């Protein structure tokens, strides 16, 4: 799984907005299937999902990123998410910080 996500991760913040959005939408579909099996890559995935995407002015990218975070919260053990989400929330600003803080609460 690690090799797959090493290759997939750059697509989550691709400079081409269509590629970026499709990667986020694919990730949204993968989360319920992989669940806690994502634990080895969660520390790599959270920044890739959150960085730029939660503050994106592109409504499709923002919605897709929000959906992935929601799916992670629904399908993964919260103890796996707490540290990486807290770490990201400390360094975000704007809407992304607000969104992530609400998820943590």
What does pLDDT average to over the chain?
94
Per cent of the chain over pLDDT 70 is 99
pLDDT average, residue stretch 13-26: 96
So where are the chain's domains? 3-103
Predicted local confidence at residue 2, as pLDDT? 80
Token reading at 16: 């081409």
Which one, of 37, 55, 41, lies nearest residue 9 by Cα?
Answer: 41
Token reading at 73: 């919260």
Query: Environment class of residue 2 by beta-carbon count within 10 Å: exposed (0-12), middle (13-18) or buried (19+)?
Result: exposed
Distance (Å, whole) CA 72 – CA 35: 8
pLDDT average, residue stretch 84-91: 92
Instruction: Check pLDDT > 90 for residue 104.
Output: no
pLDDT average, residue stretch 17-30: 97
Pair 40, 1: CB distance under 8 Å: yes
């Amino acid at each position: 799984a690690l090799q797959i996500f090493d290759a997939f991760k750059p697509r989550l913040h691709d400079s081409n907005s269509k590629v970026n959005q499709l990667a986020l939408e694919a990730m949204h579909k993968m989360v319920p299937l992989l669940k806690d099996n994502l634990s080895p890559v969660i520390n790599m995935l959270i920044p890739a999902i959150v960085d730029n995407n939660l503050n994106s002015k592109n409504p499709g990218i923002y919605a897709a990123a929000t959906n992935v975070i929601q799916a992670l919260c629904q399908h993964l053990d919260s103890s796996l998410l707490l540290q990486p989400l807290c770490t990201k929330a400390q360094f975000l600003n704007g809407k992304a910080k607000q969104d992530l803080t609400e998820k943590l609460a």
